[in-house]
Chains A and B, each alone.
Chain A
C-alpha cells in the first residue's frame, strides 16, 4: 500500500459535471478529473506523478521541509484577500429625508409623502453624524446621501458636505461624496455645487421608458422617464459622462427583457450594468407576489443576459456586467475586493453603516428597512445618545461579525466558493428569522452559487477571446487593448 509522503494543504472542492473544482486557502483553483482528484487525496508523491508539480504550484501540497514557508505564503495571500477588514467602516450612508416624489413598488426604504417634513434629518443630527463618521479609523471615507429623495432636503445635503470638508481639513481622509437620487429634481445650481465639491450622483434606471415607469411611479401620477432623460443629459453637461452611475432593480417584468435593458443602458452611454436581483424588504416584500421570482428564474435570466453582454462586447460595444466582474476579480486575482453585501465577515457595520433621518444607526440599509416595518432588532443606537464605541463596538455589531464568518457557518464551511462569497445576516434574518440563515435552500445561497457556477463554466471553456474580455473587465480596459 502506498503511504502518504506529501502533506496536503487546506483546500475545499466542488463536484461538478465537468470534474472536481479544487480551491486552495487563498482562492486559487484547479480543475481535476476524478482520477486526478484521487491522486491528490492519496498524498503519495509517486502516485501523483507529474501532477505533483501542478499541485505544489497551486499550494495544494507541500513537502515537509517547506511547510512553514507554505503556511507563511498562504497566510500572506489570505491577509491580502481580507484587506477590506483593515480599514474598518468606510461607507457611511446618510438618510437626508424619507420624503420622496416617487412611490416605487419595490422601494426598500418605504418612503414618505413630500409634505412629511418631520422625516427630514435636522442640522443638529447631521453634525453629530459627521463628527461620528470621522471617528472611524478608515483612511477612506465615502459619504452617500440616500432617502427618500435626498434632493428634497438639499439645504441639509449641501451643509453636511461643507461641514464634512471642514472636518476633513484636520482629519485628512480620502473623502468622497455620492448622492443617490432619481434625478428628477436636480437643478443647475445643485449640479454646480456637485461639480465644485466633486460629488458624484447615483441614480436608478430600470430600462426603456415603459419598463422604467412600470414600477417607478411618481406620486403626482406622471411619467418619470421623460424627466429622467432630460435630467441625465443636464447632469452630464455639468459632471461629465461618468458623473452619474445607474442602478437596475430586476423585477419579474424584467426577467425576459434584460437584453433590452442592457441595450438601453448602452444607448444612454453607461459603461455597464449590475444585474441586481430584488431584495425582500420594504414595499418589495409587500409586493413580492407581483414583483418577485425564484432564484432559479433569476439565474436563467442572468445567464441569458450575461451571454448577451459577452456577445455585445465581441460585436464591438464595450460593456461590463459588474457582478460578474466582481466575481471574476475574486476568482482570478489575489486582491481584496470590498463589497459590503458579499464579504466574510459581513460588511454590516464594519464596512458600511447607515444613519437614519432621526439619528438612529443601522449596520445596513436593509436593517433600516426592517426597522421601518417595526422590527428594530438591528438598531445599533442613536448618534445623539451613543458614543462611537457604544455604536461600533457594541454587542450588536460584534454579534453580527461572529455570526457572519462563512468559514464556520453551516453549509458554507465546506463550500468551495467560500473565499469568493460572503454572508448577509440581515437578509438571512429577513428571510428566515435567524441571522445565521440556512443553506443551501436560501435564495441568497442559490443565487450566488448559481452565478459562480456559471462563471466557472465560462472559464472552463478556456476561450482566449472570452478570457481577454474577462481580464478587460477586471482591469477596466478595452477588449481591443487586451487582444493586442
Chain B
C-alpha cells in the first residue's frame, strides 16, 4: 500500500503524506481529531511542501481495516478542507449574525 500518499512505514504503522498547498493545518487537525479513538496519531512536517500523519493501531485491527480507515481519513481531510473553504466565503456573515442575535435590543426600536 505504498502509493506515495499512504505508506506502510513498518507493520501496523502507516504514514499519510499530504500536500500543504492543498490542505491547511486546521483541516488536517480536525480530520485527525475524529480518528484518535482508533489510532495513535502523530503529525509532523516531512518536507517544505508536505505534512506527514503517522497512524499506529490501538487495538490490533487487520491491515485491511487500517487501509479503509486511512482512506476514510483522506476523505475526511478533504471534507474538512471544503468546510474551511466555505467558512472563508461566509464566516464573516456567521459572525455578523451571532453578533446581531446577541446584541442588546435597547435602543433598536
A contact set with B: CB distance below 8 Å: 4, 7-12, 15, 25, 41, 43, 67, 70-72, 74-76, 78-79, 82, 407, 410-411, 414, 438-441
Q: CB distance A75 to B30 under 8 Å?
A: no
B21 within 8 A of A: no
Q: Which residue in B30, B82, B86, B96 is a CB contact (below 8 Å) of A410? A: B30
A-B Cβ contacts below 8 A, count = 57
With A7-B90, A8-B90 known as contacts, the answer to whether A441 contacts B101 (CB < 8 A) is no
Residues of B within 8 A of A438 (CB): 36-37
Q: CB distance A9 to B93 under 8 Å?
A: yes
Q: Closest Cβ of chain B: how far from A363's Cβ, in Å?
A: 21
Residues of B within 8 A of A43 (CB): 89
B contact set with A: CB distance below 8 Å: 30, 33-34, 36-37, 79-80, 82-83, 86, 89-91, 93-94, 96-102
The answer for the CA separation of A25 and B86 in the assembled complex, in Å, is 14
Residues of B within 8 A of A82 (CB): 101-102
Residues of A within 8 A of B33 (CB): 410-411
Q: Closest Cβ of chain A: how far from B23's Cβ, in Å?
A: 15
Q: CB distance A441 to B37 under 8 Å?
A: yes
**Beyond known contacts A71-B97, A414-B80: 14 more, CB 8 A cutoff:** A7-B90, A9-B90, A10-B90, A10-B91, A10-B93, A41-B82, A41-B86, A43-B89, A70-B93, A71-B100, A72-B100, A74-B97, A82-B101, A441-B37
The answer for the CA separation of A12 and B94 in the assembled complex, in Å, is 11
The answer for the CA separation of A11 and B82 in the assembled complex, in Å, is 12
The answer for the CA separation of A256 and B37 in the assembled complex, in Å, is 29
The answer for the CA separation of A16 and B36 in the assembled complex, in Å, is 22
- With CB as the reference atom, state the residue of chain B lying closest to A80: B101
The answer for the CA separation of A188 and B5 in the assembled complex, in Å, is 75
Q: Closest Cβ of chain B: how far from A433's Cβ, in Å?
A: 15
The answer for the CA separation of A189 and B50 in the assembled complex, in Å, is 77
Q: Closest Cβ of chain B: how far from A376's Cβ, in Å?
A: 29
Identify 20 residue pairs between A and B in the complex whose beta-carbon atoms are under 8 Å apart, listed by A's number: A7-B90, A7-B93, A8-B89, A10-B90, A10-B94, A12-B83, A15-B79, A41-B82, A71-B96, A71-B97, A72-B100, A75-B99, A76-B101, A78-B98, A78-B101, A79-B102, A410-B30, A411-B34, A414-B80, A441-B37
Interface of B is mostly: helix
- With CB as the reference atom, state the residue of chain B lying closest to A82: B101
With A8-B90, A43-B89 known as contacts, the answer to whether A25 contacts B34 (CB < 8 A) is no
- With CB as the reference atom, state the residue of chain B lying closest to A43: B89
Q: Closest Cβ of chain A: how far from B108's Cβ, in Å?
A: 10
Q: Of residues B93, B94, B97, which shows the largest number of chain A Cβ atoms within 10 Å of its Cβ?
A: B97
- With CB as the reference atom, state the residue of chain B lying closest to A407: B98
Residues of B within 8 A of A407 (CB): 98
- With CB as the reference atom, state the residue of chain A lying closest to B82: A41
Residues of A within 8 A of B96 (CB): 71, 75
Q: CB distance A25 to B94 under 8 Å?
A: yes
The answer for the CA separation of A41 and B96 in the assembled complex, in Å, is 21
With A9-B90, A15-B79, A41-B86 known as contacts, the answer to whether A440 contacts B100 (CB < 8 A) is no
Q: Of residues A15, A43, A70, A78, which shows the largest number of chain B Cβ atoms within 10 Å of its Cβ?
A: A78
Residues of B within 8 A of A12 (CB): 83
The answer for the CA separation of A15 and B94 in the assembled complex, in Å, is 21
With A414-B30, A440-B34 known as contacts, the answer to whether A78 contacts B97 (CB < 8 A) is yes
The answer for the CA separation of A8 and B85 in the assembled complex, in Å, is 12
Residues of A within 8 A of B100 (CB): 71-72, 75
Residues of B within 8 A of A441 (CB): 37
Residues of B within 8 A of A74 (CB): 97
Q: Of residues A10, A12, A439, A440, which shows the largest number of chain B Cβ atoms within 10 Å of its Cβ?
A: A10
The answer for the CA separation of A410 and B16 in the assembled complex, in Å, is 22
Q: CB distance B93 to A67 under 8 Å?
A: yes
Residues of B within 8 A of A75 (CB): 96-101
**Top 10 closest A-B pairs, CB basis?**
A75-B100, A10-B94, A441-B37, A78-B101, A75-B101, A79-B101, A10-B90, A74-B97, A8-B90, A75-B97
Q: CB distance A8 to B101 under 8 Å?
A: no
Q: Closest Cβ of chain B: how far from A47's Cβ, in Å?
A: 15
Q: Closest Cβ of chain B: how far from A336's Cβ, in Å?
A: 12
The answer for the CA separation of A93 and B91 in the assembled complex, in Å, is 40
Residues of A within 8 A of B90 (CB): 7-11
Q: Closest Cβ of chain A: how far from B102's Cβ, in Å?
A: 7
